[in-house]
């Protein structure tokens, strides 16, 4: 029973992560990361980079919109959980795009 609970939690995180990345902004960032990635062993580095790029774009959009405080509260656990979920989403999105790229372009 315990293994099923962990598996269900991991699948829920994967679904939420892909949902947060499944936007124009997220897919463009994932596409750029997948194009730049030369071997799959570097997926963690590119997923971290994509997550940081996503956060920087969000901060820039908030700053450009004239928000009083454009920086999210990264000390808040809900914000950190969203960043973690977004990281999982980028792992999935970059992996899928990279596999398609390798399958069709062989490079």
The rounded distance, in Å, linking the Cα atoms of 99 and 97 is 5
Return averaged pLDDT per consecutive 10 residues of the chain, 107 residues in all: 80 77 88 94 96 94 87 90 91 93 81
CA dist., res. 26 & res. 20, Å (int): 8
Taking the model in full, what pTM does it have? 0.84
What tokens appear for 87 in the block?
Answer: 């990281």
């Amino acid at each position: 029973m315990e293994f099923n609970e962990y598996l269900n939690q991991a699948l829920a995180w994967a679904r939420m992560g892909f949902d947060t990345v499944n936007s124009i902004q997220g897919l463009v960032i994932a596409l750029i990361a997948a194009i730049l990635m030369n071997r799959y062993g570097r997926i963690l580095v590119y997923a971290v980079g994509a997550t940081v790029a996503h956060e920087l774009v969000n901060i820039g959009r908030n700053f450009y919109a004239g928000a009083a405080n454009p920086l999210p509260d990264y000390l808040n656990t809900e914000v950190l959980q969203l960043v973690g979920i977004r990281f999982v989403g980028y792992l999935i999105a970059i992996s899928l795009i990279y596999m398609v790229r390798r399958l069709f372009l062989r490079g």
